[in-house]
């Protein structure tokens, strides 16, 4: 079991109390508008977590598949779907290994659902490119993909040369050691995990290399989604693209 899997299994009980997940009701209409999937269409939620977006989209009449590394998070998603009276296909697995060619009309990967989270030995770029390729192959032609990634500009402005010397931030790989991961205790063992931030040009080029048409790169901080220019201190960037 990976460090991230152990972390999210434990974190699942408190995830829905975090400040960045309190805007789901406002986010669902935004996603419906940007995905432009007709009722009855199929949507893939990569890194679905506790299912807040998966269930919201299912309530709106879409057929949703949610994929997540953590069984603990999926247990919460199952309970959420039951409470809402909807059916959501929930799959436990690594996003880097999930692909269903030409199966979905739209896809989402939000709030560090899968991208940016590095395990031991993961290449800082290669793993996320695999996820993007899997999503691209899983979409039908014309399908849209809404993606969040960590904003590297925020990290660059926040960290210092002392942080670099102490190993808290790598300016070459644009990776930071996860403070949450290092503070959590799962099974009595500390977790050391790394997160990869991206600049807007990096995200755009990665998506273009994958084959997507990039419709726009925007500010993606939870609670402040919109088709707006990213701020330097936005927690996340949002890309909206089309196959």
Spatial CA neighbour of 122 closest among 160, 71, 164, 69? 69
Please tell me the predicted confidence (pLDDT) of residue 240.
98
d(CA 219, CA 237): 5
Give the tokens for residue 44. Answer: 């893939």
Please tell me the predicted confidence (pLDDT) of residue 191.
65
Over residues 22-70, the pLDDT tens digits come to 888 999 999 999 999 999 999 999 999 999 999 999 999 999 999 999 9
Over residues 90-149, the pLDDT tens digits come to 999 999 999 999 999 999 999 887 888 887 777 878 989 999 999 999 999 999 999 999
In order of 66, 114, 133, 166, 178, the CA distances from 119 in angstroms are 21, 11, 19, 20, 11
Please tell me the predicted confidence (pLDDT) of residue 140.
98
d(CA 238, CA 130): 19
Please tell me the predicted confidence (pLDDT) of residue 185.
54
Please tell me the predicted confidence (pLDDT) of residue 177.
85
């Amino acid at each position: 079991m990976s460090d991230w899997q152990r972390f999210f299994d434990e974190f699942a009980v408190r995830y829905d109390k975090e400040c960045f997940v309190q805007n789901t009701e406002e986010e669902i209409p935004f996603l419906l508008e940007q995905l432009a999937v007709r009722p009855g269409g199929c949507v893939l939620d990569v890194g679905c977590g506790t299912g807040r977006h998966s269930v919201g989209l299912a309530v709106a009449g879409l057929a949703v598949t949610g994929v997540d590394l953590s069984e603990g998070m999926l247990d919460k998603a199952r309970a959420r779907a039951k409470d809402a009276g909807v059916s959501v296909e929930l799959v436990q697995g690594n996003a880097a290994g999930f692909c269903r060619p030409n199966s979905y009309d739209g896809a989402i990967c939000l709030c560090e659902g899968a991208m940016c989270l590095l395990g031991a030995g993961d290449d800082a770029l290669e793993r996320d490119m695999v996820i993007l390729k899997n999503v691209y192959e899983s979409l039908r032609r014309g399908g849209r993909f809404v993606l969040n990634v960590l904003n590297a500009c925020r990290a660059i402005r926040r960290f210092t040369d002392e942080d670099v010397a102490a190993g808290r931030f790598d300016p070459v790989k644009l990776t930071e050691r996860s403070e949450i991961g290092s503070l959590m205790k799962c099974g009595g063992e500390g977790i050391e995990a790394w997160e990869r931030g991206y600049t807007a040009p990096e995200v755009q080029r990665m998506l273009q290399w994958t084959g997507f048409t990039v419709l726009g790169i925007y500010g993606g901080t939870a609670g402040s989604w919109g088709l707006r220019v990213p701020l330097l201190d936005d927690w996340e960037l949002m890309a909206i693209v089309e196959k």
